[in-house]
Structure 1
Amino acid sequence: MAREEIEIETKDGKARAGLFQPSTTARAGVILYMDAFGQRPVLDEMAKRFAGHGYAVLVPDLFYRNVPYGPFDAKTAFAVEETKTKLMALVTGTTQEMTIRDSEAFLNALTAEGISGPVGVVGYCMGGARALNAAATYPDRIVAAASFHGGNLASDAADSPYRKAASIKARVYVGTAGVDRSFPPEQSARLAEALRIAEVDHTIENYVGVGHGWCIKDHSVYDEAGAERHWKRLTTFFGETLR
């Protein structure tokens, strides 16, 4: 299945996005919120795999306000001061509020493609929190929200998604790395408590022995067994919720 390049009109400009359609009529739509290294072929590969399960998958460029940027090598970018500085400027300059606002346009883009039913969202790294925040903001449309090695899901920040747990109507799955400074055990406990109090159907699963970024092939800590476990969990999760 080929990548269709589309432009999405947002309140702040035009965001490029990859759209991947299944070979048969799409059973539902999925938005993939990228990690900190931006749009690149490995994310397209993941989207194609999703599409193979019958979903129309949208991969928007969350950094569209700053194009052109990169490309970045996910294995070394944070180890080199120059590229680390550029990456952090992109990440911090693209706020949660920006992505939440953009997500309305992303949902509308799926509708324009004929995907008007329930939507699932999944985010990796910085995209994890954005997926959960989107679910809290658009509860009438997003019925499944997943995060893998998402950072700061229950931090002290004002935009941390655990604060919006009461607004989430979606089912939630969080897969966390065994050791991850961006999502330590105290945050996991805080998120679990917030979701339980809000009566959100949720699972938080600890992937012992893997590092932050284990799901994505071009990361230095990519773990094939852990990545395949993530695919199994995610496709089951979406299969149960995106009917």
Structure 2
Amino acid sequence: MPFSELKIKTADGEAGAWLFRPDTRPETLKTGVIVYMDAFGLRPAMSEIGEILANAGYVTLIPDLFYRNAPYGPFDAKTAFKNEDTAKELRGIMSGTTQAMTISDTAAFLQTLEGEGVTRVGAVGYCMGGPRALNAAAHCPDRIVAAASFHGGNLASDAEDSPHKAANKIKGRVYVGSAGVDKSFPPEQSAKLALALREAEVDHIIENYVGMQHGWAVSDHDIYDPQGAQRAWTRMLTLFNETLDTDASAS
């Protein structure tokens, strides 16, 4: 599926992005999804995600969260952290791209979808994008009605910008698919996130993918698991179908 390459004006510059438009969809169904990428940037594996969501009927935006460091990479998901030089570069870019930056950028991402006629938005993030999707839902609660995280790390850490600390701002539904083997989201964080979401009365599911490792749902990771990925897609599309594809989305 062809996609449009965009430059989105933000408070800090211009973010490159890919926009996928569904081939056919009802005129009344004005729904869209923001995909918060993993650490390896825009590449064919992210394009696959955009295509699946667009084929499901959603205008899909995949922004480059690392645009402040462009040009960078390219990074190979299988080897980037195994090579000392690329690992150092990548960790520097990741640590320098704060949650606050992505929260600020999300306003511009939402405006881009508005330009496409989108009135109801979902968010999904992978790995480092997982907490960003949840924080987006917390800081744009009237715009983002559903958020999903797959093998997201540090969803309930001690950091001030940890998503669980903003749970009381979330109005939409939340789905978290956690890797069964993931040092970045251990059981104690899962319990802390569950408590925060429940106390905030957020409609949510946290599901443990037993035996899956961090990165299992993205096709170019060396621990990609097709069955686990299909299960993740089933959960995500059900979430968006139940929250975005409603009579309330017509306008």
- Give yes or no for TM over 0.5: yes
Q: Deviations over 1:38-88 (max 9, x none)?
A: 111110111101100000000000000010011111001101111100110
1:90 is aligned to 2:93: yes
Q: In structure 2, what is the Cα distance between the partners aligned to 1:109 and 1:237?
A: 23
Structure 1 equivalent of residue 8 of structure 2: 8
Structure 2 equivalent of residue 217 of structure 1: 219
Structure 2 equivalent of residue 167 of structure 1: 169
After TM superposition, the runs of 4+ consecutive aligned structure 1 residues lying more than 6 A away are: none
Structure 2 equivalent of residue 196 of structure 1: 198
Structure 2 equivalent of residue 127 of structure 1: 129
Compare 166-175 and 36-45 and name the one that shifted more.
36-45
Structure 2 equivalent of residue 139 of structure 1: 141
Aligned positions, number: 242
What's the TM-score once normalised by structure 2's chain length?
Answer: 0.95
Say what the alpha-carbon RMSD is for the aligned residues.
Answer: 0.7
Q: Post-superposition shift, 1:114? A: 1.6
Q: Deviations over 1:151-186 (max 9, x none)?
A: 000000010000000000010000000010000000
Q: Deviations over 1:164-212 (max 9, x none)?
A: 0000001000000001000000000000000000000000000001100
Query: Within 5 A, what are the aligned runs for 1:20-31?
Result: 20-25=20-25, 27-31=30-34
* Aligned partner (choices 35, 51, 55) of residue 52 of structure 1: 55
- For residue 10 of structure 1, what is the amino acid of its counterpart? T
Q: Post-superposition shift, 1:112? A: 1.1
Structure 1 equivalent of residue 249 of structure 2: none
- For residue 94 of structure 2, what is the amino acid of its counterpart? V
SS at match of 1:152: coil
SS at match of 2:110: helix
Unmatched runs of 5 consecutive residues or more in structure 2: 246-251
* Aligned partner (choices 65, 77, 82) of residue 79 of structure 1: 82
Q: In structure 1, what is the Cα distance between the partners aligned to 2:174 and 2:188?
A: 19
Q: CA contact under 8 A between 1:5 and 1:19: conserved in structure 2?
A: yes
Structure 1 equivalent of residue 248 of structure 2: none
Structure 1 equivalent of residue 157 of structure 2: 155
Compare 19-28 and 82-91 and name the one that shifted more.
19-28
Q: CA contact under 8 A between 1:148 and 1:174: conserved in structure 2?
A: yes
Q: CA contact under 8 A between 1:27 and 1:54: conserved in structure 2?
A: no
Identity of aligned residues (%): 64
Unmatched runs of 5 consecutive residues or more in structure 1: none
